[in-house]
Amino acid sequence: TTLRWRKTCLNTPAECMYYCKILYVSVTMKHTPPVLPQIPPFDFKPEPYQVRGLYRLLDIRKHNCNPMTMKVTYYKKPVFINQGYMQWLWDVDGRRYLDLFAGIVTVSVGHCNPKVTETAEKQLRRLWHTTAIYVNPQMQEYAEKLASLLPDPLKVVYFTNSGSEANDLAVLMARLHTGNFDVITLRGSYHGGSPQAMGLTSNTQYKYPVPSSMGCHNTMCPDVFRGLWGGSHCRDSPVQTIRECSCSPGHCQANDMYIRELKEMFATTVPSRIAAFFTEPIQGIGGAVQFSKNYLKDTYQLVREKGGICIADEVQTGFGRTGSHFWGFQGHNVLPDMVTMAKGIANGFPMGAVVTTAEIARSFAKGVHFNTFGGNPLACAVASSVLDTIKEDKMQENSAEVGTYLLTELAKLRDKYEIIGDVRGKGLLIGVEMVKDKASRDPLPSEAMAEIFEDTKDMGVLIGKGGLYGQTFRIKPPMCITKDDADFFLAVFNQAVHNYMERR
């Protein structure tokens, strides 16, 4: 068979080679070739990769990089990324992928977004770095811009270099301000990998056999799909669980039960006075887990009665990603005492922040806190451009529109396949939980997850994984994706799940 190139074809040679291989296998095996989802056209030509052989890269990764990186390459055949532009990535062979994981929920406005790139280039020519002992315009102007997006009295900004560092700082500030020590987080949470943040994190695979809890305690997560209690009207999402619910309007029995568990913890596990309650508005690495609607509101009240402050970890939920609000906590109708943020704050440039009240800031001023790189003028210029781009290009609105469409269409696949147990999330923060069957809700085994995951990648889409058992696919793309991109992913994911079911 001779395959001819069409002049109008926008696929790269690497993409066409993939389709040829599928066709070849189908013909030689005497199977009818599947109708593969066609990647949407995109008018951008990546630069060719001509530096090192792929095996040499893997050898360097094995011997000179963090050994853990060999365990988290995700795929049987690693993806060698060479270039990115907006929602797309290209590997070293020129093959294009739709990026629906955004560098672990970090690329908020698109890879190499032209507006942000231009700002970075201008700032690089002006000033890379100075320290906070001098007044530079970028730091002060960005602090004011960021604070204007948060409700009163959250107006004092501390700059850091990562989410882990921001969460470390938040715990220290909470303990100094309250005079108390114990901090509560939710099971299944992830708040970073530094020694202090590791104590906040409640997920075994991120733990080491060293003292790390340091006054941190975990209470039951109000997961209304996998948890002990839940129903079909529990969460703030376009898509609800398949569990039946007999609650009267405005009343959630599941929430009552989870709050009862929290009260039990107060009565048995922690002192009468605590320092803080720390949570993501929607769990990220935990698998886009959403809580019963009034859980945070009721919990904040109980925590404050115990002398603690309430901290919202917006590392993944912030900057318009949930669509309905700029910050995830706003969807719960609560006002935290402190907000931590990172990842999408600077579209992948290393940066984080803690925003709190003037009262808490005064408590922290008893000692000297200094950060050499926090508030770096280059980082602040990039982060400021990110805020402008989100607003100018209506990316929060796009998150709401495309995200709701994705959730609604994924729910149809949930109803179609027995192994798709739950679809949840808001905006472009989506989780698809895979199960052995809907009755048991037992997690789909890792081998099966890997098959679907690999197949999705081979058809041109990159997604993530999460959940306590690695049973949840995470769809959290740059906020610039289009409905056409969403349709491509839906077709690919449907095909990948179908392929797995056929092989069973």
Cβ neighbour number for residue 118 with a 10 Å cutoff: 11
Tell me what pLDDT residue 55 has: 67
- pLDDT value at position 9? 46
Place of tokens 């002049």: 7
Query: How many domains in the chain?
Result: 1
In three-state secondary structure terms, 494 is helix
Helices within 345-445 (DSSP H only)? 358-364, 377-392, 395-416
Residue 472 lies in a domain: no
Residue 171 lies in a domain: yes
- Parallel, antiparallel, or unpaired for β 88-91 and 96-99? antiparallel
The answer to the question of residue 447 being in a domain is no
pLDDT, residue 10, reads 47
Residue 458: name the closest of 26, 54, 36, 87 by CA.
36
Report, as ranges of residue numbers, the positions in the chain whose pLDDT lies below 50.
1-10, 23, 25-30
- Is 107 domain-assigned? no
Could you tell me the CA-to-CA distances from 395 to 341, 346, 351 in Å, in that order? Answer: 18, 15, 20
148 found inside a domain: yes
306 part of a folded domain: yes
Give CA–CA dist 110/116, Å, rounded: 9
Q: Is 203 a domain residue?
A: yes
Domain of 353, in residue numbers: 114-392
Burial letters for 228-255: b for 16+ Cβ neighbours within 10 Å, e otherwise? ebbbebbbbbbbbbbbeeeeeeeebebb
Region for 278 from its dihedrals, namely left if φ exceeds 0, alpha if ψ lies in -120 to 50, beta otherwise: beta
Distance (Å, whole) CA 236 – CA 294: 10
CATH number of the domain where residue 157 is located: 3.40.640.10
The CA-based angle 154-157-162, given to 5 degrees, is 120
Query: CA–CA separation, 198 vs 184, rounded Å?
Result: 13
Look at residues 319, 316, 353 and name the one whose alpha carbon lies nearest to residue 338: 353
Beta strand 309-313 with 338-341 is parallel
Q: How far is CA 260 from CA 222, 264, 292, in A?
A: 11, 6, 13
Q: Report in angstroms the alpha-carbon separations of 137 from 148, 181, 296, 349, 462.
A: 17, 37, 37, 19, 38
- Residue 52 lies inside a defined structural domain of this protein: no
pLDDT digits (tens, 9 = 90+) for 270-279: 999 999 999 9
Residue 21's pLDDT is 54
Distance of alpha carbon 13 from alpha carbon 90, whole angstroms:
12
